[in-house]
Amino acid sequence: MPRKHVWPLAALLAAGTIALSACGGTTGGTAAPAPAQSQDSEGGNAKDATLLSGTARSNKADEKAGDMAPPEAPTEVKEKWVSLRASAAGELDPVVVNGSGFTLYRFDKDTAEPSKATCNGDCAKTWPPVTVAKGGKVFIAGVKQDAVGFVKRDDGSIQVTLKGWPLYRFAKDVNPGDTLGQGVGGTWFGITPDGKKAGPTEKPVPPTAAPGAKPAQSATLFSGKNFDDTTGTNFATGIATPGCNDLRGGFLSLTISGSAKIWSEVGCKGKSAVVTDDVADVTPLGFPAGVKSVFLG
């Protein structure tokens, strides 16, 4: 399947020894996006970053920066953007991963209400916090916009939160999909898209359409499940034309803001379903060969 150019989807949103003792351990349209508002650790509101629907690649982000920056890149390059994507890793399904596919974690010794990050010093070397520059970007796929926030760390940097929980990586996770941090010290766990502790794979629950959702003006579709446009030949394509949009091939996941109708065949024919939210896997909806056309408006 040929790789396509991807449309920017800003329109989709209106708006070693490793010391673990310090970490609780013993040895993962056309409208411009609205800036995200969050409450920092001092209780003040700040315009910390811009949230954009889709992945870094589908938004044409610099793939030598952000989550994909090389280890030797300066901090200001690494903090240009962050990606949060609902996915599966090891026995964890769902779990949130970053732009490079690494598992993101939450720490039981932190607090979510209010958000407070307590992993500092040597702990933060083992569990690098997910930080973003003020005014940077956060790309989200399969994660609710209102679940994403920010907290000011003790060193003044801005850490991304999910349902109030500060997000971290684990230094011993060396390959995308590793989950070596799961359960460390009985306090570290992969985090689900709704901020809960990730656990073994469970049978996916098909999403239900929210009543009264406004018609979607655009959508991004992914050839892989879990909004995957980086593995192998997987790619994403954007659509923003009112009416029936035929797709070249079957697409297994999608991000969307509003209501749209998906179809199993081109020409908006065959099996159909209404979706009003991001869908990480369309197969439980009855689309084993993927979505082949979408009606917008």
Task: For residue 206, name the pLDDT band (cuts at 50, 70, 90).
Answer: low
Share of the chain above pLDDT 70, in %: 80
Edge-first strand order for the sheet with 269-275 is 243-251, 291-296, 260-265, 269-275
Give the global pTM: 0.82
SS (H, E, C) 116-135: ECCCCCHHHHHCCECECCCC
Q: What is the pLDDT of residue 294?
A: 98
Q: Cis peptide before 114, with omega less than 30 degrees from 0?
A: yes
Residue showing tokens 């996006």: 33
* Res 1 pLDDT > 50: no
* Res 179 pLDDT > 80: yes
Q: What is the pLDDT of residue 226?
A: 97
Rounded to 5 degrees, φ, ψ at 205 are -100, 120
Q: Give the chain's mean pLDDT.
A: 85
Which pLDDT tens digit goes with each residue over 105-144?
A: 999 999 999 999 999 999 999 999 999 999 999 999 999 9
Which regions of the chain does DSSP assign to beta strands (E)?
35-39, 45-53, 81-89, 92-97, 105-107, 111-112, 115-116, 136-141, 148-152, 158-162, 165-166, 188-190, 219-222, 236-239, 243-251, 253-256, 260-265, 269-275, 291-296
Give domain limits for the chain.
10-14+26-190, 219-296
Which pLDDT tens digit goes with each residue over 243-290?
A: 999 999 999 999 998 999 999 999 999 999 999 999 999 999 999 999
CATH superfamily label, 219-296: Crystallins (2.60.20.10)
Q: Cis peptide before 94, with omega less than 30 degrees from 0?
A: yes
| Strand-strand pairing, 219-222 and 188-190 | unpaired
Residue showing tokens 């969050």: 38
Task: For residue 200, name the pLDDT band (cuts at 50, 70, 90).
Answer: confident
Length of the chain as a residue count = 297
Rounded to 5 degrees, φ, ψ at 126 are -80, -40
